[in-house]
Amino acid sequence: MAETKSILLVGVGGQGTILASRILSEGLVEAGYDVKMSEIHGMAQRGGSVSTQVRYGDEVFSPIIGRGEADVLVSFEAMEALRWLEYLKPDGKVVVNNYKIPSAPILMGKEEYPEGVIDIIKNKADTSIINAAEIAEELGNMKVMNIVLLGALVEAMNLSDIDWEKTIKNNIKEKFIDINLEAFERGKNAI
């Protein structure tokens, strides 16, 4: 019996966190796992927090990941990783996008983006830092940042034997498939 694995994906509204989670879940289902996924939107349209929880194994009874239970925390934005770090297992792994999105209070000048967020995360957990924005920019479309991070997650979880190309093609508009497949591979190679 395969142990149930728990993946927490967090980001900010508009970053494609939910699409990446859906592709992840569909790929895992195609590979024969029982998969449960939940999603939480916190004012996503205004740049608020978005999180999805994906759990997979032979038989999964709940999509909910409690504090200290996530095998992997994938953060699409640096501060979000810090916000959700308490959900990671003591021996869990963080995949964090080295990318900052200022919240509304920061944009209004009422607060400042905290310094050293990535260093704090690195000191508390096994962390892989991905410059997904740079990779997406090199590919010519910032919107593929989420698929770069999906590729990094797949590599971090040793899930490369699943047919991700098929799953990405099933979820992406045809004219964007090639760039998303390239983003996925670049993310895998970034780990």
pLDDT in tens, 91-118: 999 999 999 998 777 888 888 888 999 9
35-64 average pLDDT score: 85
Residue of higher predicted confidence among 113 and 183: 183
Which has the higher per-residue pLDDT, 44 or 185? Answer: 185
Mean pLDDT of 74-92: 96
Residue 96 CA: distances (Å) to CA of 48, 60, 111, 153: 18, 26, 23, 10
Mean pLDDT (whole number) for 50-66: 95
10 Å CB burial of residue 120 (0-12, 13-18, 19+) is: middle
The whole-angstrom separation of Cα 81 and Cα 159 is 22
Q: Given pLDDT bands bounded at 50, 70 and 90, which one contains residue 47?
A: low
> Which CATH number do you get for residue 144?
3.40.920.10
pLDDT at 150 over 60: yes
Flag whether pLDDT at 46 surpasses 90.
no
Q: Which residues pair with 38 in a beta bridge?
A: 53
Q: What is the predicted pLDDT for the residue at 40?
A: 77
Query: What was the pLDDT predicted at 104?
Result: 74
Comparison of pLDDT for 14 and 125, the residue scoring more: 125
Q: What is the pLDDT of residue 105?
A: 75
Cα 87 to Cα 65: distance, rounded to the nearest angstrom: 7
Domain that holds residue 81: 5-189
Q: Which residue has the tokens 């194994």?
A: 57
Count structural domains, the chain. Answer: 1
